[in-house]
Amino acid sequence: MRQADVALIQSLYAAFGRGDIATIVAAATPDIEWRLNGSRSDYPLLGSWKGPQGVQAFFDELARIQDFSEFSPREFLSSGDRVFVLGHYASTIRKNGRKAASDWVHIFTVRNGKLAAFLEFTDTAEFARAWKD
């Protein structure tokens, strides 16, 4: 396990918990791809966000549409330049008050101590259902 990479990712989850999105954006490489598996037509957070400005736009959109009641990274694993995180979250959709929850897997690619890529797998259908009016 590449402990420095795992420590970086753990520190970024801690930053997220504090609402310190600037720290996450600052950790991104100029060419980062931040991707949530699925189509933005199903749920506004899905799809690909490019570059640090895309990462910032993702977190701006996240704050606009979701309110987390739980966000729990539970297990950290690493292999090569990747850190895999298993967790769970629950949230309320702000526009309609509907609730959604899911387990998830986050896959981070770390290059020279910076985030080069992020990929999330979760129950996107659960969030798409909650999003629909």
Average pLDDT, the chain: 96
Tell which residue, 32, 57, 47, has the closest CA to residue 118. Answer: 32
Please tell me the predicted confidence (pLDDT) of residue 1.
55
CA gap 62, 28 in Å, rounded: 18
| Helix, strand or coil, per DSSP, at residue 123 | coil
pLDDT score, position 2: 86
Model pTM score: 0.94
Task: Quote the CA–CA distance of 7 and 118 in Å, as a whole number.
Answer: 16
Of the chain, the percentage scoring pLDDT greater than 70 comes to 98
Average pLDDT over residues 76-102: 97
Which position has the token pair 């520190």? Answer: 11
Domains in the chain: boundaries:
3-131
Is it true that domain 3-131 has CATH number 3.40.50.150? no
Tokens 């690493």 — which residue? Answer: 78
